[in-house]
Amino acid sequence: MRIIVGIATTGRREVLSDTLAQIAGQARKPEAILICPVQESDADWAYAATLDVPVRRVVGRAGSCAQRNAILDAAGEADIILFFDDDFLPARSYVGAVEELFAGELDVVVATGLVLADGIHGPGLGADEARAILARDPGADAATITPVENAYGCNMVFRMAAIRAAAARFDENLPLYGWQEDTDFSRQLAGQGRIILSTALRGVHRGSKRGRSSGLRLGYSQIANPFYLVGKGTLRRRRALRMAAGNVAANILGSLKPQGLIDRRGRLKGNCLALFDMLRGRLAPRRILSFN
């Protein structure tokens, strides 16, 4: 089984190097790692060349969806593609567990793993802290498989045959950070087979705040992107409403008590602008490209 890892990255050179080292240390190594940066300096290519896994640079336009599409185009005859965020550290068993899962469960087309810790909800996790969490993890006594609506963007596994059959693409109308592109892409494959979470796939999402979109842009995307996907048919309206309400509430509370690197006030401003645009019939994900 030919397994490829794809990483879209921008502005996280050192963070990416930690992730590459973790991938290169897998018990079952992937056949290649494809990296699509925004700028050449986003990755330490000299270091990457020393790893015991081939690392290739893929050229693509800026934006996580466009970069991931460029990786798909470069994946060739891969059987399985793993999309990791550049700050996701997989357990040493991750790739081997993917191979076992997809060989044994032939109707699984999308999988995501158990995130042991997620720094996205706070200031983020350092590399040493993330590695310590992985070292303390005893692993799954008996791996379980649970149906889910979509893979979580920090670690997504796809069967390439299903991608080809559905002609699936990451939607480049979700620009820059591509909020909810994981939901949209997963749901494009729903007709091809099962979408699951497997506890055999384990890792830590550091939630690095470097290279993130501005709070204003992300806040706008938190409203605009889900409702765009409702219109497209890849997200249920009830879930979009719940998602939007949860984000607005979190940003209101966070604005009252600032959380350091998380720009809650900027996000809330973006939420309000999106809601105002919704009332005017102007709500569109790509509008964030016009924001300063």
Alpha-carbon Rg of the chain, whole angstroms?
18
d(CA 163, CA 186): 10
Encoded tokens for 45: 């290519």
3-state SS, residue 92: coil
On whether residue 210 sits in a domain, the answer given is no
Q: How confident is the model at residue 176 (pLDDT cuts 50, 70, 90)?
A: very high
104 & 47 share domain? yes
| CATH number of domain containing 108 | 3.90.550.10
182 & 124 share domain? yes
110 & 226 share domain? no
Q: Cβ distance 150 to 91 under 8 Å?
A: no
Q: In percent, how much of the chain has pLDDT > 70?
A: 98
Q: For the chain, what percentages of helix, strand and coil (3-state, to nearest 5) are there? A: 45, 20, 35
- pLDDT for res 39: 95
Encoded tokens for 22: 């973790």
Encoded tokens for 88: 């996701």
The number of angstroms, rounded, from the C-alpha of 137 to the middle of its chain's C-alpha atoms is: 22
On whether residue 289 sits in a domain, the answer given is no
The mean predicted confidence, pLDDT, of the chain is: 94
Q: How many of the other CB atoms lie within 10 Å of CB of 21?
A: 16
On whether residue 291 sits in a domain, the answer given is no
Alpha carbon separation from 47 to 13, 17, 20, 55, 68 (Å, rounded) = 11, 8, 9, 10, 22
DSSP classification of residue 189: T
d(CA 118, CA 255): 21
51 & 141 share domain? yes
On whether residue 292 sits in a domain, the answer given is no
Residue 212 has pLDDT above 90, yes or no: no
Q: Which of 146, 180, 205 is the last residue of a domain?
A: 205
Longest CA–CA separation in the chain, Å: 54
d(CA 162, CA 95): 19
Q: How confident is the model at residue 142 (pLDDT cuts 50, 70, 90)?
A: confident
**222-233 per-position pLDDT tens digit:** 999 999 999 999
Where is 70: in which H helix or E strand? helix 64-74
Where is 186: in which H helix or E strand? helix 181-188
Encoded tokens for 16: 């990416």
Name which of 89, 122, 33 is nearest 203 in CA terms. Answer: 89
Q: How confident is the model at residue 139 (pLDDT cuts 50, 70, 90)?
A: confident
Q: Which of 155, 183, 205 is the last residue of a domain?
A: 205
d(CA 25, CA 29): 7
d(CA 146, CA 197): 5
**1-59 per-position pLDDT tens digit:** 999 999 999 999 999 999 999 999 999 999 999 999 999 999 999 999 999 999 999 99
24 & 50 share domain? yes
Which range marks the domain in which residue 25 is found?
A: 3-205
Q: Cβ distance 87 to 12 under 8 Å?
A: yes
Residues 6+ apart with CB under 8 A from 22: 89, 90, 131
200 & 275 share domain? no
Q: How confident is the model at residue 140 (pLDDT cuts 50, 70, 90)?
A: confident
State mean pLDDT over 124-131: 94
Across 22-68, the runs of DSSP E, i.e. the strands, are 32-37, 55-57
Instruction: Specify the number of domains making up the chain.
Output: 2
Strands 194-205 and 88-90: antiparallel
